[in-house]
Structure 1
Amino acid sequence: MALIQTSLIWVAYAVAVVLLLAVASIFVFLYQTPRDRAASVTTICIFTTSVLLATVLLMPVDIALVSSTSLSSQGRKKDWATPERVGSILYTLKIVYYTLYSLDALLCLLVVPFTYFWYEEYDEDAAEHGEQTAGQRFWGAFKYTIAFVVFVVIIFLVGFFVPFAKQAKGDDRLDLDYFKHLLAENHGERALSFALGLLMLIGTILYVLYTGAGLALLPVAMIKSAPSISAPTLAANTASQLESNRERQRQLEGRGEGRHGGLDPRDRRELEALVREERTLIRRERLAAESNGEDRHWLVKTWIKIEAVFRPLKLIGGLLLMVLALLIFTSMLITGIDKAKNSICKAGCGYILGHINIFQPLNWILVKSSKVFPIDYVLFLLLVLFFFCSSVVGIGAVGIRFLWLTIFKIRKGHTSPQALLLATVLLNLIVLAINYSVAMVVAPQYATFGPQTFCDRQPLIAGAQPSCKDFPADIKPCTETATNHYAKDVCTPSVLSTFINRVTINFPFFGVVLFWAQFAFLGVYLIVFLTTLFKTPRLDQEQIDRDLEEEEEEGLLASTGRRFNATWQDITGRGKRTYGTTDTNGERS
């Protein structure tokens, strides 16, 4: 029975990883620009995104596996959960975590930068004339990547030789087996903890800016996305307007051919306006063709059709996600206040919370749902994916910036290879911050021990496990500060929570910054949410045209939905043509 349950969890994870490979492929093909597609960039982005998603989804697997060893209704371990079996499960999880985190670090700090410079080094003219070889291109990319190699080496050397946190080590409040275990580590574990903490710190800055904004934008965008026309209808209308525009230009040009001095001032102004309008219509025609999926990869075309089919559900989905986002906001705020007030040793150990002192709704929901497997597993999985999707939306909305300067913009069908690679690195770092936030703030007790409980009674037989089958009042939830002699044997913390707590105890500076950054995250979410909630969406055609004039390569239809009566037109690819043209003021005629 034990083998079946643990195997099912790993099988479910393996199936999810395979599905994530398809999701990562669709994500990359949706966002990259078709004209500058490079095989190396596409492959690295798909692989890196798949590893990222696999890392994110390992957290619910971790919690499900350690929870499967406990019989929560009686506050004891299951009969098969011997220390050897539990140790084997934890060892397997550690191997998977080490593998994924090592892959993330390798991809983020070495492979992706090398791919970026490999793409930048390509000179089409030189390659066509045989003046640039693969070796020259490789060396050009490698010499720029050396700086990242040096950075990685420095991180691990500093982590290897940095001393233990003396304040935390001498704190009597940490004189418990759980915390002693976190402080007793070798130099290799310390180096890994330091590197993980530093990357998590960098990722938290990005997490505050991008995920905080995306958590507010994603639900509101789903609710308020309602452009006035479908892509096929826009294409049909634009073709009609372009034809009328050019016919009028021919009439004016014919009128001026036989006249001395050319056209009079009024006709000349009208012709100039028609020329400007023609450029706008040509851009709009190209935009409609791209948003309709023409000349695109078959994956993108399929995704567009699927989006059109499920578009009527966007309003309901947006409302549900908004409720979930507000619940997350409330839960994080409560945990933040609880940690600031009731932490065991405050800043000295990175605001570790021994147990929850204030009712926390999201944590309570997950613990209660764990009574019926796999409801809690599915809910926690959706929660983690919501954070990841919010990060993607935030990067797409804010763009890749340095201070106030926008370096790259992330748009569907218009993202350059360089921007796609940089966005992948940002997501890589943000995933580390998501792991901290979810495990330590969003649902701390559930993410550490899941639904595990222990029996706070003496056993009837000496040496046996205590059982509270007939004494439910004595069943207590597992916490880090549980002092019962049997809690040590019954309560098994998740591997991820152990990693993170080891970082914050041994390097309290990381814990302090990571903790207070959660309040900054809540502030960004609140500002963006209120701003987006009361801001009228830009739906008029004139605004679309202004955006097109400002940026040739950016499009509005590629990143937003339509109203419901345009859905069938987008699915079939045929729109109803509206005849007529527009004058220089944008009025229909």
Structure 2
Amino acid sequence: MALVQLAFIWIAYALAIVLVAVIAALFTYTYQIPRDRSALVSTVAILTLTSLLATVLLLPVDIALVSSTTSVSLGAKKAWATPKSVEHILLTLKIVYYALYSLDALLCLLVVPFTYFLYEEYDDVDAEDGRQTFSQRFFGALKYTIIFVVLVVILFLVGFFAPIARDRKEQHLDLDYFKRLLSEGHGERALTFALGLLISLGTLLYLLYTAAGLALLPISFIKSAPSISAPQLAETTSSALERNRERQRQLEARSAGHAGGLPTKDQRELEALVREERTLVRRERLAAEARGDGKSFIVKAWAKVCAVFRPLKLLGGIFLILVALVVWISMLITGIDKAKNSVCGRHCGYILGRINVFQPVNWVFVQASKAFPVDYVLMAFLVLFFFSSSVVGIASIGIRFLWIKLFEIRKGHTTPQAMLVATVMLTLIMLAVNYSVAMMVAPQYAIYGAQTFCSNPTDHPDDQPDCSNRRELVKPCSELSPDHSSKNVCTPTVASTFLNRVTFNFPFFGGLAFWAQFAFLGVFLIIFVTSLFRTPKLNTSQMDEDAEVDEEEGLLASTGRRFGATWQDIRGKPKKPRRGAEGSAIHGDDPQQDEN
């Protein structure tokens, strides 16, 4: 029975990896620009994103494995969970974690930079023969990558020789949990230091991009339903295009009758009509693509299915707002609890010890962990929510150095260089998300899951308590469980031990990661409140042609008459416009009116 349960947990993790690999591939191919798509860049981006998501999604597997060794109702280890069996489970988890963290660091610090420089070498064309061999590009990229190799070596050397913090409150070091956090080997200390530094770098990106995306993502769902259907857009655009071309013919005929050409006023009008014609032609093409004209029956059917489920995006946006607010409240509760009740404050990175205030997200996960894989599904949703929010934040803000925008991340317009830089940023951000989820969003769940122990009501550790008939003695495990009976029952997760070891041995990293959570909450609140009452406006005078195309695509994603547009898309026919007293259309004939 135990083997079946453990196998089921690992199978669920394997399925999750397949899912995140598909999501990483969809993200890469959706955002990368088609004409400059590189197989090498796409492969590296997909592999890196899959690795980092697999690292974060290992947490519920970790929790499920250590929780499976304990009987929740009795507060005791199961018969098969001998110390040797538990040690084997923990060793397996440590190997997987070390492998994933090392792979993340290798991809982020070496492989992605090398791929970036290798792609850049395509621009350095040899002056003699006009082309470069692969070996020239390879060694050219390797030359620049050596800088990152030196940085990685220095990073691990600093961690190898860096002394651990000594200014702790010694009265807590006699507890078994805190003794396990002390780094003994220099190799383990080097990895701990490197992980802490990467988490700190990711936290700086996380508090800006993820906070912004967490506020903007749900609102984008609500504001994404179209105000005008594809058939109605096609009809109004066709009518406007016909009037535009007729007016151009009139001006051209007037020009033929003047030796000096058109007057300045008419010439400006003609130039504006030519620009408007290009816009209308693009709009007509977008409407045809939205209806699936000239496409197969499957494409047309998919367009109608999307139209049927389009109103659900409004409900989905409202649901995501509620989720974001609950997560925000839970993080605030945990932050205040840690700041006030941490056992040793800044000396150990604000390790809490036990939950002192009801925290909704932590409670939901603890209860769900009693019925695996319910908690795994919830954790996968939460991680993907943070990941999607990070993508939205990067796409909204762009990749910047201070106030200078270096790259833009847009669907179908992201260059390979921008994709690689965004991949590194997402890797660092997800390491910070891993800390945030484990230490702030659901701290008790992340450390012990639903594990309990049978409390010994006496002061004699040799007495064996029996909770089969005394359920009031069953208590949840915590870091500060003083009862000797909890020592051999409560097993902390490997993930929480890694993260707490970083903050315990290097309190600077713990303090930075902890107080940055309050900055994250503040940025989210400001952007969320602002975006509710203010919609950003596009400056069309400064747009290039690609941005104009995006603006036209945005026409199908503006707010307004959502359900009427959806019904017209399903029927495939536009609604006939009402006519005024002089026979003109009240709405629908003026594309500019529909656009606004």
Q: Note the 1:395-414 alignment, pairs <5 A.
A: 395-414=394-413
Contact kept, 8 Å, 1:236 with 1:576, in 2: the verdict is no
Classify 1:127/1:484 alpha carbon distance in 2 versus 1 (closer, same or farther; 3 Å): farther
How much does 1:466 deviate?
3.8
Give 5+ residue unaligned stretches, structure 1: none
How much does 1:521 deviate?
0.4
Residue 48 of structure 1 corresponds to: 48
Q: Provide the rounded CA distance (Å) in 2 between the counterparts of 1:557 and 1:275.
A: 17
Q: Provide the rounded CA distance (Å) in 1 between the counterparts of 2:292 and 2:48.
A: 26
Residue 22 of structure 1 corresponds to: 22
Secondary structure of 2:371's counterpart equals coil
Q: Provide the rounded CA distance (Å) in 2 between the counterparts of 1:386 and 1:230.
A: 29
Q: Provide the rounded CA distance (Å) in 2 between the counterparts of 1:301 and 1:420.
A: 31
How much does 1:467 deviate?
3.5
> Match of 2:138, as an amino acid?
F
Cα shift readout 1:97-120 (whole Å, capped 9, x = no counterpart): 111111111111111111111111
Q: Provide the rounded CA distance (Å) in 1 between the counterparts of 2:519 and 2:187.
A: 33
Residue 255 of structure 1 corresponds to: 254
Classify 1:429/1:128 alpha carbon distance in 2 versus 1 (closer, same or farther; 3 Å): farther
Residue 475 of structure 1 corresponds to: 474
Cα shift readout 1:425-464 (whole Å, capped 9, x = no counterpart): 11100111011111111111111000001110269x9979
How much does 1:272 deviate?
2.4
The alignment's C-alpha RMSD in Å is: 3.4
Cα shift readout 1:151-199 (whole Å, capped 9, x = no counterpart): 111110000001121113x722222111111114210010000000000
> Match of 1:106, as an amino acid?
L
Q: Provide the rounded CA distance (Å) in 2 between the counterparts of 1:236 and 1:300.
A: 21
> TM-score, structure 2 length as denominator?
0.88
How much does 1:321 deviate?
1.3
> Match of 2:550, as an amino acid?
G
Cα shift readout 1:516-559 (whole Å, capped 9, x = no counterpart): 00000000110011011122476xxxx59667558647614657
Q: Provide the rounded CA distance (Å) in 2 between the counterparts of 1:473 and 1:497.
A: 28
How much does 1:316 deviate?
1.4
Contact kept, 8 Å, 1:280 with 1:545, in 2: the verdict is no
Classify 1:448/1:300 alpha carbon distance in 2 versus 1 (closer, same or farther; 3 Å): farther
Q: Provide the rounded CA distance (Å) in 1 between the counterparts of 2:116 and 2:299.
A: 24
Count of residue correspondences: 579
Q: Provide the rounded CA distance (Å) in 1 between the counterparts of 2:300 and 2:519.
A: 39
How much does 1:254 deviate?
2.6
Q: Provide the rounded CA distance (Å) in 2 between the counterparts of 1:285 and 1:115.
A: 40
> Match of 1:443, as an amino acid?
A
Secondary structure of 1:401's counterpart equals strand
Q: Provide the rounded CA distance (Å) in 2 between the counterparts of 1:428 and 1:237.
A: 46
Contact kept, 8 Å, 1:156 with 1:191, in 2: the verdict is yes
Larger displacement relative to structure 2 (330-339 or 50-59): 50-59
> TM-score, structure 1 length as denominator?
0.89
Classify 1:467/1:234 alpha carbon distance in 2 versus 1 (closer, same or farther; 3 Å): farther
Classify 1:306/1:112 alpha carbon distance in 2 versus 1 (closer, same or farther; 3 Å): farther
How much does 1:293 deviate?
8.9
Residue 582 of structure 2 corresponds to: none
How much does 1:411 deviate?
1.3
Q: Provide the rounded CA distance (Å) in 2 between the counterparts of 1:355 and 1:279.
A: 64
Q: Provide the rounded CA distance (Å) in 1 between the counterparts of 2:552 and 2:211.
A: 24
Contact kept, 8 Å, 2:241 with 2:280, in 1: the verdict is yes
Residue 151 of structure 1 corresponds to: 151
> Match of 2:374, as an amino acid?
I
Residue 380 of structure 2 corresponds to: 381
Larger displacement relative to structure 2 (87-96 or 196-205): 87-96
Cα shift readout 1:83-107 (whole Å, capped 9, x = no counterpart): 1111111111111111111111111
Q: Does residue 195 of the first structure (1) align with residue 190 of the second (2)? A: no
Secondary structure of 1:483's counterpart equals coil
Residue 32 of structure 2 corresponds to: 32
> Match of 2:343, as an amino acid?
I
Q: Provide the rounded CA distance (Å) in 2 between the counterparts of 1:300 and 1:439.
A: 42
Q: Provide the rounded CA distance (Å) in 1 between the counterparts of 2:440 and 2:410.
A: 31
Secondary structure of 1:521's counterpart equals helix
Give 5+ residue unaligned stretches, structure 2: 578-584
Q: Provide the rounded CA distance (Å) in 2 between the counterparts of 1:419 and 1:300.
A: 31
Classify 1:234/1:103 alpha carbon distance in 2 versus 1 (closer, same or farther; 3 Å): farther
Q: Note the 1:319-334 alignment, pairs <5 A.
A: 319-334=318-333
How much does 1:243 deviate?
4.9
Classify 1:388/1:502 alpha carbon distance in 2 versus 1 (closer, same or farther; 3 Å): same
How much does 1:229 deviate?
2.9
Q: Provide the rounded CA distance (Å) in 1 between the counterparts of 2:473 and 2:139.
A: 67
Q: Provide the rounded CA distance (Å) in 1 between the counterparts of 2:400 and 2:293.
A: 31
Q: Note the 1:213-252 alignment, pairs <5 A.
A: 213-230=212-229, 234=233, 237-238=236-237, 241-252=240-251
> Match of 1:113, as an amino acid?
P
How much does 1:375 deviate?
2.5
Secondary structure of 2:406's counterpart equals strand
Q: Does residue 494 of the first structure (1) align with residue 484 of the second (2)? A: no
Cα shift readout 1:232-272 (whole Å, capped 9, x = no counterpart): 75466545544543343233213212322122344323212
Residue 503 of structure 1 corresponds to: 502
Q: Provide the rounded CA distance (Å) in 2 between the counterparts of 1:117 and 1:308.
A: 43
Q: Does residue 555 of the first structure (1) align with residue 550 of the second (2)? A: yes
Q: Does residue 171 of the first structure (1) align with residue 170 of the second (2)? A: yes
Residue 111 of structure 2 corresponds to: 111
How much does 1:286 deviate?
6.6
Q: Note the 1:405-424 alignment, pairs <5 A.
A: 405-424=404-423
Contact kept, 8 Å, 1:207 with 1:430, in 2: the verdict is yes
Contact kept, 8 Å, 1:236 with 1:577, in 2: the verdict is no
Q: Provide the rounded CA distance (Å) in 2 between the counterparts of 1:577 and 1:419.
A: 45
Contact kept, 8 Å, 2:342 with 2:351, in 1: the verdict is yes
> Match of 1:74, as an amino acid?
L
Q: Provide the rounded CA distance (Å) in 2 between the counterparts of 1:300 and 1:503.
A: 51
How much does 1:362 deviate?
1.5
Larger displacement relative to structure 2 (570-579 or 144-153): 570-579
Q: Provide the rounded CA distance (Å) in 1 between the counterparts of 2:46 and 2:549.
A: 23
